[in-house]
Amino acid sequence: MHGTHFPWGDKFAPARLNSHDSGPFDTLAVGQFPAGASPFGLLDAAGQVFEWTNSPGNPGRFLVKGGSWDDKGCGVCRPAARHARPEAIKHILIGFRLVLRKG
């Protein structure tokens, strides 16, 4: 693990992610914030939309991580930030990421 609060370091930088701080108050195409990439090249790990994980919360709930375009100030716009949501919820601030493991 890299060990920083945000993919790019420890200081919040609104220009590096899609959050309420710099608009446009909606999702954007992936890759619009290349300066927010992690050291591993992962884009949009902070802001944009919360992402479902396979981590169980309380019964009937799963964890979402990463913050969203609607969050401001952004203590929650970090890949490590998490909270549980009902497993059947549909919400404009929650999405998912497909990951291909190479090798």
How high is the pLDDT of residue 40?
87
Q: Are 30 and 50 in contact (CB under 8 A)?
A: no
- pTM for this entry: 0.83
Taking only the tens of pLDDT, the chain with its 103 residues reads: 458 889 999 999 999 999 999 889 999 998 899 999 999 888 998 999 999 988 887 899 999 998 899 998 777 888 888 889 999 999 999 998 887 777 7
Q: For the chain, what are the domain ranges?
A: 45-98
CA distance 74 to 22: 11
CB of 66 closer than 8 Å to CB of 39: no
Sign of CA dihedral 96, 44, 27, 66: positive
Q: What is the pLDDT of residue 1?
A: 44
How far is 54 from 59, CA to CA, in rounded Å? 13
